[in-house]
Amino acid sequence: MEWYRTPSGKKLVRYALSSVISTGVSQGVLFLTFGVLRLWSAVDSNVFANAVAVVPSYYLNRNWAWGKRGRSHLGREVLPFWVLAFAGMGLSMVTVGLVQHYGPLITSSHLEVAVMVNAANFAAFAMIWMGKFIIYNRVLFGQGGEGIGIISPAEDEELVPSLGSLSEMAVSQLSQPFPGTTQDIFETGTIDFSNSLKQPSTGKTDTALLSKLQED
């Protein structure tokens, strides 16, 4: 089944690719700051790396994966995104902290410890990866906009008649006289639909529809 061709499938594929890019950024910054340059501790380097990766992650997911346009909404998009980012960061701080504590007991090589730190960071975000997609799709980015699987305003006008047109149709139908009186119904047992089938603009009877009703 080519599920990836569906709107949800396309979003999931783009979300996965966005995650690959943002994960590559965080992994590279983490390994550079802790493994190569040794600027900070593993936990501090992990926080910095995740903070750097949040920026491309937000725009890749919002603008590309979900196709949202326009200014970001602070309360509905930016703040919830950062809350999720800090949740993942907090979990990665736990896993990276464990490696920072027990890693030197396993090996004396700083490079090997750095590799384990990167693996701990990756494992933490992998555990919440699917949950983040569901929240992005249902809460943050899944409503409005012109993204994948979301009907644009132009398409919406083609698919659904405007409220003004529906109102005009309703008023036109209600303004037509009732086909036959109560007395006519009791006396003849039939209803004369010919008056109701006359078009307001021409006064002509729709003969095709009248013939169909008489056959029924």
Q: List pLDDT tens digits, range 29-74.
A: 999 999 999 999 999 999 999 999 999 999 999 999 999 988 998 9
Instruction: Round to whole Å and give the CA distance between 106 and 112.
Output: 9
Q: Is the pLDDT reported for residue 163 higher than 70?
A: no
pLDDT of 147: 43
Retrieve residue 173's tokens. 């139908």
Is the four-CA dihedral 139, 90, 128, 41 of positive or negative sign?
positive
User: Taking residues 155-164, what's their average pLDDT?
Assistant: 36
28 pLDDT higher than 50: yes
Q: What is the pLDDT of residue 4?
A: 66
Q: Report the alpha-carbon distance of residue 122 to residue 15 in Å, rounded.
A: 16
What residue ranges do the domains of the chain occupy? Answer: 3-152, 161-215
Provide the 10 A C-beta neighbour count for residue 54: 19
pLDDT digits (tens, 9 = 90+) for 88-112: 999 999 999 999 999 999 999 999 9
Helix (H, G, I), strand (E, B) or coil at 198: strand
Secondary structure of 138-192 as H, E, C letters: HHHCCCCCCCCCCCCHHHHHHHCCCHHHHHHHHHHHHCCCCCCCHHHHHHHCCCC
At residue 5 the predicted structure's pLDDT band, cuts being 50, 70 and 90, is confident
Residue bearing the bigger pLDDT, 74 or 201: 74
Among 207, 189, 190, residue whose Cα is nearest residue 199 = 207
pLDDT average, residue stretch 79-96: 94
Q: Which two tokens stand for residue 152?
A: 């644009």
> Looking at residue 8, what is its pLDDT?
79
